[in-house]
């Protein structure tokens, strides 16, 4: 180097060498190919979602045109496709969500706080963590069996057997491990330095958790729990086992709240399952319409979760 | 001095009382003199009108089976800045975190030997770690303000300690003492995390002194700061010395030389356990060390 700096010609040579080295890979094919593969993967997943949405919307058009949205989402189930609607299903699903959020939310959050903030890091707590992760992966139908044997049969005096209360309890148990996992992850995202800061000014463990860890983790917990709810909203199999009606039923218009909670019930996904196996042509469009309603509701729930996450997102 | 935030018993009150008057005069004289950071400020002689606040006896610190620090015996004088220097991994921070039981939060950490504070063994089973931390505050390596307003950063500690006085006064007093009041007085409701790194660290110091501790532990408080912010923190330490005892871990030898009264030099043995090589007045450690290892380190030949 130092020798070539002596003359102007030497400098030109160096400049040319540096230019060639720097410009050598103007087109990096390997990274282009890799990028293309990544985009393709994204499109594959996106394609099926889009295809599902478009095909169901197209198939459901007769329902919207002939019946209208309001009539469809308020009518009760009926064996006549011209009169059937998803009103009972929406009502049932909302009540189920209510029961789930009443139970799975506080219990899941409390269990996660214990696991993350209090439990010593030993064999027992590590085993518990693993078990919970496995429970989250257990097929929903297994929870249906559990709900049937426990809530419907063993706890019949309390739940009233095949009622919406048993259904809600079963779904709550189903999503409990997921609620624990999402809460634990939100708690873990609060940096250890914040806890140290709290302890450093003489706060007790509870004061640190209540005043700092929980408030800072709250947006994450909320988002996670809402997504958990969306998961419960779409479950069908366990409900079929614990007594959701997969056919048509009707309650007298004079039915009280108690009647509705202790009588026959159904949920939106249960209705979809039921209609999809019926032979009459008219139910094809109805099934598609119910799917569209379900998808829209789940997308709305997710939109709320995303909004809350962005609204309260915290930078450390 | 205003009222203490909590009832700390007679010990702490006495300690503050007997030095407060003199302390006030010293602050004035020091401000006139302006701290000479290049030459090491207004240094104080060891043993001069102060007594040992901490007595460390045969302290070894472990993480599980690993011994991180071995056989440290020393005293830490009251109302002095004691700096801990030494190469990375020699256990300075580990040792510091045992002075306020911060290592309780690390399940595998344990010790043999003892650290006595006013003659009380800090790790005695009957001693409440929360109460220890209320008296022995801490400033951490990375500024870690709560992601709440500047005001709430200050009031949190006082609130949980049951402070009954005027919170606005406490906020102003703490921020003034941490030399950050003028910069934040118009934005007390803005989040502490929105400040610059140096301001955040001074906010953390204000947060620590808002609960009126006796001691402030500083674990490399300037390692994430630029030289100007570092200088501000060092000036602040000199001012705080009159009311608090300060223990500071630093990687920066110039900082130890500038801003401490006493220096503890630690290094790592062949068993990877840190140990205390030499402790003495800062001027002596840096100009006339007794131990060859110390001389090599402070002259930059090692570490």
| B181 Cβ contact list (under 8 Å, min separation 6) | B172, B175
What is the pLDDT confidence band of residue A264, given thresholds at 50, 70 and 90? confident
Which H or E run contains B113?
Answer: strand B109-117
Determine contact, residues A244/A267, Cβ cutoff 8 Å: yes
- Residue A156 pLDDT: 83
Residue B24 confidence (pLDDT) above 80:
no
Phi and psi at A165, nearest 5°, equal -65, -45
Which residue in A191, A196, A201 is closest to B157 by CB distance? A201
- Residue A28 pLDDT: 80
**In Å, what is the CA distance from A98 to each residue of A102, A173, A196, B195?**
6, 14, 37, 42
Residue B11 confidence (pLDDT) above 70:
no
Confirm or reject contact between B64 and chain A (CB < 8 A).
Answer: no
Average pLDDT over every residue of A93-116: 92
Q: How far is A23 from chain B (nearest CA, A)?
A: 37
Average pLDDT over every residue of A112-138: 91
In percent, the amount of chain A with pLDDT more than 70 equals 94
- Residue A242 pLDDT: 86
Residues B119-140 pLDDT 10s = 999 999 899 999 999 999 999 9
Average pLDDT over every residue of A28-39: 91
Average pLDDT over every residue of A31-36: 93
Mean of all residue pLDDT scores within chain A? 87
Angle value at C-alpha B149, between A106 and A185, nearest 5 degrees? 35
Average pLDDT over every residue of B243-260: 90
CB contacts < 8 A (A, B): 70
For A234, counting Cβ atoms within 10 Å of its Cβ (0-12 exposed, 13-18 middle, 19+ buried), the class is middle
Inspect the interface and report whether the beta carbons of B211 and A202 lie closer than 8 Å.
Answer: yes
Q: CATH class for domain B55-298?
A: alpha beta
Residue A110 confidence (pLDDT) above 90:
yes
What is the pLDDT confidence band of residue A133, given thresholds at 50, 70 and 90? very high
Average pLDDT over every residue of A194-219: 93
Q: Which residues of A fall within a CB distance of 8 Å from B133?
A: 199-202
Provide the residue ranges of all domains of chain B, joining segments of one domain with +.
55-298
Find the closest chain A residue to B134 by CA distance.
A202
What is the pLDDT confidence band of residue B246, given thresholds at 50, 70 and 90? very high
Asked casually if ipTM beats, i.e. exceeds, 0.90, the reply is no
* CA proximity to B92, closest of B232, B233, B302, B276: B276
Structural domains of chain A in order of their starting residue, each with its CATH number = 69-312 (1.10.3720.10)
What is the pLDDT confidence band of residue B43, given thresholds at 50, 70 and 90? low
Average pLDDT over every residue of A196-203: 93
Residues B190-207 pLDDT 10s = 999 999 988 999 999 999
Distance of alpha carbon B103 from the chain centroid: 16
In percent, the amount of chain B with pLDDT more than 90 equals 59
What is the pLDDT confidence band of residue B4, given thresholds at 50, 70 and 90? very low
More confident residue, A31 or B303: A31
Find the closest chain B residue to A216 by CA distance.
B147
Mean of all residue pLDDT scores within chain B? 83
- Residue B302 pLDDT: 64
The bridge status of strand B262-268 relative to strand B245-249 is unpaired
Q: How far is A129 from chain B (nearest CA, A)?
A: 18
Residues B195-239 pLDDT 10s = 998 899 999 999 999 999 999 999 999 888 888 888 888 988 988
- Residue B50 pLDDT: 67
Which residue in A120, A121, A196 is closest to B144 by CB distance? A196
Long-range contacts of range B193-200, CB-CB < 8 Å, 24 or more positions apart?
B193/A315, B193/A316, B193/B145, B193/B147, B195/B145, B195/B150, B196/B229, B197/B143, B197/B224, B197/B225, B197/B226, B197/B229, B198/B225, B198/B226, B198/B228, B198/B229, B198/B230, B198/B232, B198/B233, B199/B229, B200/B143, B200/B145
Q: How far is A211 from chain B (nearest CA, A)?
A: 9
Residues belonging to chain A with any Cβ–Cβ distance to chain B shorter than 8 Å: 120-121, 191, 193-204, 207, 211-212, 216, 314-316
Q: How far apart are CA B294 and CA B285, in angstroms?
A: 7
What is the pLDDT confidence band of residue B301, given thresholds at 50, 70 and 90? confident
- Residue B214 pLDDT: 92
- Residue A9 pLDDT: 62
Q: How far is A119 from chain B (nearest CA, A)?
A: 11
Residue B279 confidence (pLDDT) above 50:
yes
Find the closest chain A residue to B193 by CA distance.
A316
Inspect the interface and report whether the beta carbons of B105 and A197 lie closer than 8 Å.
Answer: no
Average pLDDT over every residue of A73-93: 87
Is the C-alpha dihedral spanning B42, B48, B54, B56 positive or negative? positive
Inspect the interface and report whether the beta carbons of B208 and A200 lie closer than 8 Å.
Answer: yes
Q: How far apart are CA A153 and CA B44, in angstroms?
A: 80
Find the closest chain B residue to A117 by CA distance.
B105
Among A18-22, A299-303, B166-170, B241-245, the least confident range = A18-22
What is the pLDDT confidence band of residue B251, given thresholds at 50, 70 and 90? confident
| B205 Cβ contact list (under 8 Å, min separation 6) | B139, B178, B216, B221, B233, B236, B240
- Residue B168 pLDDT: 93
- Residue A316 pLDDT: 56
């Amino acid at each position: 180097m130092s020798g070539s700096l002596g003359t102007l010609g030497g400098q030109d040579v160096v400049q040319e060498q540096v230019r060639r080295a720097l410009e050598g890979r103007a087109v990096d094919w390997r990274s282009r190919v890799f990028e293309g593969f990544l985009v393709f993967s994204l499109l594959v997943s996106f394609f099926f979602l889009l295809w599902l949405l478009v095909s169901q919307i197209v198939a459901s058009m007769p329902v919207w045109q002939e019946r209208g949205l309001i009539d469809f989402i308020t009518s009760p189930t009926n064996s006549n496709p011209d009169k059937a609607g998803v009103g009972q299903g929406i009502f049932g699903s909302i009540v189920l969500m209510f029961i789930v959020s009443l139970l799975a939310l506080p219990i899941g959050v409390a269990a996660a706080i214990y696991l993350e903030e209090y439990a010593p890091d030993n064999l027992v707590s590590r085993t518990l963590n693993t078990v919970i992760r496995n429970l989250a992966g257990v097929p929903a139908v297994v929870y249906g069996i559990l709900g049937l044997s426990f809530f419907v049969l063993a706890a019949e005096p309390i739940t009233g057997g095949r009622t919406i209360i048993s259904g809600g309890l079963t779904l709550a148990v189903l999503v409990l491990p997921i609620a624990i996992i999402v809460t634990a992850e939100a708690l873990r995202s609060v940096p250890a330095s914040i806890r140290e800061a709290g302890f450093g000014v003489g706060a007790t463990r509870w004061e640190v958790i209540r005043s700092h860890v929980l408030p800072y983790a709250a947006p994450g917990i909320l988002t996670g729990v809402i997504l958990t709810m969306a998961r419960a909203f779409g479950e069908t199999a366990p409900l079929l086992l614990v007594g959701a009606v997969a056919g048509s039923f009707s309650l007298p218009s004079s039915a009280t709240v108690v009647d509705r909670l202790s009588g026959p019930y159904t949920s939106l996904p249960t209705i979809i399952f039921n209609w999809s196996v019926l032979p009459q042509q008219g139910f094809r469009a109805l099934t598609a319409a119910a799917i569209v309603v379900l998808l829209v509701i789940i997308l709305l729930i997710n939109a709320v979760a995303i909004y809350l996450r962005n609204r309260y997102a915290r930078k450390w | 001095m205003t009222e203490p935030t909590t009832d700390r018993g007679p010990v702490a009150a006495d300690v503050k009382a007997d030095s407060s008057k003199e302390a006030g005069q010293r602050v004035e004289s020091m401000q006139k003199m302006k701290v000479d950071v290049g030459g090491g400020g207004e240094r104080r002689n060891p043993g001069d009108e102060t007594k040992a606040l901490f007595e460390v006896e045969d302290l070894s610190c472990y993480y599980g089976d690993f011994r991180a620090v071995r056989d440290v015996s020393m005293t830490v004088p009251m109302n002095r800045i004691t700096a801990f220097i030494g190469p990375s991994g020699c256990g300075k921070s580990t040792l510091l975190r045992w002075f306020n039981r911060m290592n309780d939060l690390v399940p595998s950490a344990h010790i043999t030997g003892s650290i006595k504070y006013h003659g009380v063994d800090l790790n005695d089973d009957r001693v409440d770690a929360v109460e220890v931390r209320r008296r022995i505050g801490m400033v951490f390596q990375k500024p870690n303000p709560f992601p709440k307003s500047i005001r709430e950063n200050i009031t949190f500690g006082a609130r949980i300690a049951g402070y009954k006085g005027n919170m606005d006064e406490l906020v102003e007093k703490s921020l003034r003492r941490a030399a950050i009041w003028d910069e934040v007085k118009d934005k007390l409701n803005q989040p502490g995390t929105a400040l610059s790194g140096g301001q955040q660290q001074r906010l953390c110091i204000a947060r620590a002194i808002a609960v009126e501790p006796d001691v402030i532990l500083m674990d490399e408080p300037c390692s994430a700061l630029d030289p100007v912010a570092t200088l501000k923190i060092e000036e602040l330490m000199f001012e705080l010395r009159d009311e608090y005892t300060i223990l500071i871990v630093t990687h920066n030898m110039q900082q130890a030389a500038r801003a401490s009264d006493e220096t503890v030099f630690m290094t790592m043995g062949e068993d990877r356990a840190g140990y205390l090589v030499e402790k003495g007045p800062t001027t002596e450690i840096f100009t006339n060390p007794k131990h060859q290892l110390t001389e090599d380190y402070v002259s930059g030949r090692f570490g």
